[in-house]
Amino acid sequence: MTDQGFSADEIDTSRPHPARMYDYYLGGRDNYEVDREAAERVIEEIPEIRFAARANRDFLQRAVRAVVRSGIRQIIDVGTGIPTSLNTHEMAREIAPDVRVAYVDNDPIVASHAGARLTGTPDTGFALADVRKPESVLEHPTVKELIDFDRPVALLLVAVLHYVTDEEGPGQVAGTLGQALPAGSQLVLSHATTDFHPDGLPNVLKVYRNATASMNPRPHREVLSFFDGFRLQEPGLVQVPLWRPDGPAMPAEEIAKTGVYGGVGVKV
Ligand SMILES: C[S@@+](CC[C@H](N)C(=O)[O-])C[C@H]1O[C@@H](n2cnc3c(N)ncnc32)[C@H](O)[C@@H]1O
């Protein structure tokens, strides 16, 4: 169950792609020279980006396990990213093997990897869709086939809404997706911020302006507003390494500079 048919020549290697830059920060190999050059310019400005990317991925893992432990058995993972280890269905199925996962991304390179690494197992699927058109996500045949909207769903918007500009309306995107879910559903969301970099990181934003999607970091109160209709769970919306940490202690100076907020809310 995947949107098929992407050949290598449909993958744009002339401009950096955020998905491939993120893959590079995480130490992956599914990136091109143009992505590595852009990512290196970001690393020059904020070397802590690699820690932040890993911390975001670890947050995703802890949050997915928490929602599955709470009884959720279906997940929509919007802004899937290039497959890595572990992927959402693998994290979830360590807790409950019957979890269904609909992956959604608008990047052809993610689509091209999905068949082998995300959907080669029952009860997972990939939808090539753009979150800026949330109805296209909700109406996608793969999403409709996998997800029962009468039962609680975990909606993952992890490190994706910061690619949606103010004009495109990230609040409306989150609102439209959230409204489609029944009470008891959960929203797992993370989002970039410059709250811990008072200069606003102009050089980093410039790198992303030349990429296929711009970077739109937002302050805490604005990210919090994306949880409208959801009751935030402990410990609230915090820098991702501080969300229910369960591993060895992390360096305080890296945590202090981590420009990514994360939280989980339950629909009321
Ligand atoms: C930084 S990665 C995050 C991957 C994963 N969620 C994680 O946190 O590890 C962001 C992903 O969002 C996807 N993305 C960006 N804009 C999108 C859009 N408008 N619609 C759907 N996906 C989008 C990118 O292609 C990329 O795969």
Looking at residue 9, its pLDDT comes to: 55
Mean pLDDT of 159-165: 98
- The answer to whether residue 108 is domain-embedded is yes
Residue 11 banded pLDDT, cuts 50, 70, 90: confident
- The answer to whether residue 225 is domain-embedded is yes
Per-residue burial over 223-252, b if 16 or more Cβ lie within 10 Å, else e, is bbebbebbebbeebbbbbbbbebeeeebee
- The answer to whether residue 120 is domain-embedded is yes
Q: Is the pLDDT of residue 59 over 80?
A: yes
Q: Is the pLDDT of residue 116 over 90?
A: no
- The answer to whether residue 7 is domain-embedded is no
Maximum separation of any 2 CA atoms in the chain, in Å: 47
Domain, as residue range, for 176: 12-267
Looking at residue 149, its pLDDT comes to: 98
CB 142 within 8 A of CB 191: no
CATH of residue 206: 3.40.50.150
Ligand 1 atom at shortest distance from the alpha carbon of 56: 8
Mutate to test the pocket of ligand 1, among 57, 75, 163 (most ligand atoms within 8 A of CB): 163
- The answer to whether residue 2 is domain-embedded is no
- The answer to whether residue 1 is domain-embedded is no
- The answer to whether residue 231 is domain-embedded is yes
Looking at residue 43, its pLDDT comes to: 98
Residue nearest to atom 14 of ligand 1 (CA): 79
Residues with CB under 6 A from ligand 1: 18-19, 22, 56-57, 60, 79-81, 105-107, 110, 130-132, 158-160, 163, 213
- The answer to whether residue 25 is domain-embedded is yes
CA of 95 to the centre of ligand 1 (A): 25
Q: Is the pLDDT of residue 12 over 90?
A: no
Looking at residue 39, its pLDDT comes to: 98
For the chain, the domain total comes to 1
Minimal CA–CA distance to 163: which of 218, 213, 203? Answer: 213
- Return d(Cα 116, Cα 119) in angstroms, integer: 7
- Return d(Cα 99, Cα 176) in angstroms, integer: 24
